[in-house]
Amino acid sequence: MELGLSLGDAGTASKPFGFMEKSSKLTSKTNLGFCMGLSIGPNHTPQEDDQDKEKRSNSDHKSDNTNTSAAAAEANKRKSMAEDTTDSPIQLDLLPNTPVPRNQNHSLTYLVSDNGNTSRGFDVNRFPAAVVHEDQGDQDVAALSSSPPNSATSSFQMDFCMYSSKGRSESHNEADQAERASSRASDEDENGSARKKLRLSKEQSAFLEESFKEHNTLTPKQKLALAKELNLRPRQVEVWFQNRRARTKLKQTEVDCEYLKRCCETLTEENRRLHKELQELRALKTSNPFYMQLPATTLTMCPSCERVATTSTSTAAATPTATTTTNNQNNTADPTSKTTGLSLSSTRPRFYPFSHTQTHPHQHTS
DNA sequence: TTTATTCGTCATATTACCTCA
DNA sequence: ACTGAGGTAATATGACGAATA
């Protein structure tokens, strides 16, 4: 359903690509009345999204008017779904001096997809562009809606659409896909069916991939060029890049997650080993009371450089713990500092079995 | 210069279609 | 023929920055 707000043209008929002529006709019309078209239908033309979006800055009011007579006829068969509907969308003509002709059937028209099924019911937010007001004369102002709401604020529209799932038995070979993808902008518009998601052809995907490798974001110029090259709508190219970036990020997140998992396993193993070593040392101490008679060695961390200094009352640092600290030299045990850009090293104290007083660059008064 | 508005684009989450096993 | 999973095109939403009145 759409509330198409237009200026003038209250008596003009719909045209599949009427928006293309919108600008000039709008300016040429002498009747600058205030007209609202209300309709329900899947007749949005995919190309309109971007073309109109691109024209949005040049035209103030737009409404879609791409309903076809065939679709309208089909809709008539099902208008029982809407009790007080007739053949054409409701038009709220606010023109005080231009009464709506009686022969124009103002109605809420339920339009269904090409197979006529309406199984999916009434969905407010699906296929937003499918709107038309028909029998409005030779042109209308198209309102497009695939763009985000905040970017279509001037169109004053709401879209409701009946849609259904098509049969899936049609062939889906590559040629078909390519043809469908490349022709979607025209075919679907013409038959007025609800827009369906179509896979891009391999060639299109490959081309987009190549382009993505060069730059993962698009300038408007690049977007238009790609769209033209691939016979897609600019919006499709834009969406493809957005989804591609999202996929890349998701994949990277998965890689990072896997890497952190391995890090966790490594650290857990190291922790287990250290605990075991500690137990062995304690056992050794109990069994050999003379073994640990060396002066106690304490580890203190310098708050300024986060280095751990071995301070002892003697130079006898050759305690068994020294073997463990050397294991961490040069951060070799920190597995998080490389490929993924993730690093745990900033949160882990670095163990350097150096003589604090000799090698520390800072002057500590303590 | 500051402020409000509009517009375009982005990231993110979600939906829904399509394909395939 | 049916079904569930996975991939992905498309949509919804909010945030942000640039341009402009």
Report which secondary-structure segment, H or E, holds A225. helix A220-230
Are the beta carbons of A299 and A317 closer than 8 angstroms?
A: no
The owner of tokens 């038309």 is: A132
CA-CA distance, A260 to A131, in Å (whole number)?
A: 50
Are the beta carbons of A84 and A108 closer than 8 angstroms?
A: yes
User: Which residue, counting CA atoms, is nearest to the C1' of nucleotide B16?
Assistant: A197
Across A103-107, A125-129, A238-242, the highest mean pLDDT is recorded for A238-242
Distance from residue A140 (CA) to nucleotide B17 (C1'), in Å? Answer: 31
Torsion (CA) A21, A148, A90, A10 in degrees, nearest 10: -30
Domain ranges of chain A: 2-166+180-192, 200-289, 297-366
Residue A361 has pLDDT above 90, yes or no: no
Residue A59 corresponds to which amino acid? S
If you average pLDDT over every residue of chain A, what do you get?
50
pLDDT 10s digits, A21-51: 333 333 333 333 333 333 333 333 434 444 4
Distance from residue A83 (CA) to nucleotide B14 (C1'), in Å? Answer: 33
> Shortest CA distance to A35 belongs to which of A69, A59, A72, A62?
A62
> Shortest CA distance to A41 belongs to which of A70, A21, A61?
A70
The protein side of the strand B contact, defined by CB less than 7 Å from any of its atoms, consists of A 53-54, 56-57, 120, 123, 126, 147-148, 150-151, 153-154, 163, 165-166, 168, 172, 177, 196-199, 217-218, 220, 223, 238, 241-243, 245-246, 249
> Shortest CA distance to A335 belongs to which of A324, A345, A325, A349?
A345
Distance from residue A236 (CA) to nucleotide C9 (C1'), in Å? Answer: 8
The protein side of the strand C contact, defined by CB less than 7 Å from any of its atoms, consists of A 46, 49, 125-129, 145-146, 148-150, 184, 195, 197-200, 205, 235-236, 239-240, 242-244, 247
> Shortest CA distance to A5 belongs to which of A121, A117, A99, A91?
A91
CA-CA distance, A331 to A346, in Å (whole number)?
A: 11
pLDDT 10s digits, A308-353: 555 544 443 334 333 333 333 333 334 333 333 343 333 333 333 3
User: Which residue, counting CA atoms, is nearest to the C1' of nucleotide C13?
Assistant: A148
The CATH homologous superfamily for domain A200-289 is Homeodomain-like (1.10.10.60)
Report which secondary-structure segment, H or E, holds A116. none
Name the nt closest to A168 by C-alpha to C1'. Answer: B18
Report the pLDDT value the prediction gives residue A299, as an integer from 0 to 100.
61
Q: What is the DSSP string of A186-232?
A: HHHHHHTPPP---PPPHHHHHHHHHHHHH-SS--HHHHHHHHHHHT-
